[in-house]
Structure 1
């Protein structure tokens, strides 16, 4: 069981603990005794500071815990917050897409249309944003397919640019005669 350090949502910690206790079929008293083992130093000090006999059941303990640490509760994020995620000026489509996908994970009950609009409208001006706007994707799969194609093209062009830079050759002098004259100057009789 993971310990609670006070930085995350206390309801998640409580839910995980209760799931573990349910699996072991632990009694209310056992839950009250086991819960402090999931706390770290500062949170354990809070537990130790509870007045004696102030907790009569695990529900009491859970309510006290949530009341004390509820300030750490994760703020609910909503689908319109996706519209605030913008692709940076020099950011690749791949890294933008990863950032966008992480933001989507934080939103529950997110409408597909809002996700598509958020992804498309937040792209910077360029070939990909123009091509995806012309096709008007209607499903997330279509957007994913188009995005993957563009990411592959972007990666290939980046690899092509670096390989050209690494293996550049000096310009060739097509006029062999001029080279010969430079290396073997004619002697006058």
Structure 2
């Protein structure tokens, strides 16, 4: 199809489609944007490839010559080729995996949840409300809404906003009464980072028994045959890395394999002679 592109015509400014997401979203986005240009059907066909990249543009370039009769024809071929990607789009049940972290603020959780909702098509209000409440960490806000029959996501968000503002105002009021003056933004950030750093645990043993498997693998297996003492609570640690999780403490901030509390527990068992049989039985566990 030959079409002369007007000099003043400007292709839609939008994210290029690479073939890995829902094609119907991209097609709808393109159609709504190019509709404002009042371009002809032939220009639609010329402009559409400029919004494709990677696998998608390779597919377009391989289309047989003169195989497209109209933009409607091109759209149908596009949807047919990438239709399988629709199954990979997020659905309402995926919201059940959005949980508020042990030390995550309500504000941060609400922002993450709202962002997750944007990726779900045809999300019902009931599913959104259920997912939001289900992901909340138990606490004052959870208790405040547990006895209320909330059917509107906006109502839950408004209540959350009021709770966040009230809590932040209380913190500011307490700081003001105590005569505390807030430092500059950079200094405040530095102090928070220092406070967030875990206090290094002293080494209880001079030498630790070499293990043939990782500390986390030992911990997962030993739980089934030995009584493991509960971990000591970690103080002075408000946050930590969200990518590092300790199975022993059940908190984010440091990886299981670098947990000194767990190392001390495992070493004690090793010195009591309770770890020899375990290590022998777990040579096949990958490191």
TM-score, with length taken from structure 2: 0.46
Which residue is equivalent to 1:128? Answer: 141
Matched, 1:75 2:89: yes
Q: Deviations over 1:36-75 (max 9, x none)?
A: 2333465433322222222233233222222333344461
Unaligned runs of 5+ in 1: 168-189
- Which residue of 2 is the match for residue 5 of structure 1? 17
Number of residues paired by the alignment? 164
Provide the C-alpha distance between the structure 2 equivalents of 1:155 and 1:103, rounded to a whole number of angstroms: 25
Describe the SS at the equivalent of 2:69. Answer: coil
> Residue 121 and residue 20 in structure 1: after superposition, are their counterparts in 2 closer, same or farther (change >3 A)?
closer
Q: Is the contact between residue 16 and residue 53 of structure 2 (CA under 8 Å) also seen in structure 1?
A: yes
Alignment CA distance shift 1:62-1:101 (3 Å): same
2:132 to 108, 111, 119: 119
Task: Quote the offset at 1:150 in angstroms.
Answer: 1.9
Matched, 1:152 2:165: yes
**What is the CA distance between 1:156 and its match in structure 2?**
3.5
Please identify, of 116-125 and 153-162, the stretch whose mean Cα deviation from structure 2 is larger.
153-162
RMSD of aligned residue pairs (Cα, Å): 3.2
**CA–CA distance in 2 between the matches of 1:103 and 1:87?**
13
Question: What is the deviation of 1:144?
Answer: 3.4
Report the counterpart of residue 61 of structure 1 in structure 2.
Answer: 74
1:129: Cα distance to partner? 1.6
Match of 1:15 in 2: 28
**Could you say which residue in structure 2 is the equivalent of 1:174?**
none
Assess, with a 3 A threshold, how the Cα gap between structure 1 residues 122 and 33 changes in structure 2: closer, same or farther.
closer
Distance in 1, matches of 2:45 and 2:155, equals: 51
> In structure 2, how many angstroms separate the alpha carbons of the residues matched to 1:102 and 1:58?
33
CA deviation profile, 1:54-99 (whole Å, cap 9, x unmatched): 2233233222222333344461512x44333221100111111122
Alignment of 1:40-59 (within 5 A): 40=53, 43-59=56-72
Partner Cα separation in structure 2 for residue 47 and residue 146 of structure 1? 49
Match of 1:95 in 2: 108
Partners of 1:154 and 1:69 lie apart in 2 by 48
Query: How has the CA–CA distance of structure 1 residues 133 and 23 changed in structure 2, closer, same or farther, with 3 Å as cutoff?
Result: closer
Greater displacement, 61-70 / 34-43? 34-43
Task: Answer yes or no: is the 8 Å Cα contact 2:24–2:79 preserved in 1.
Answer: yes
Counterpart position of 2:150: 138
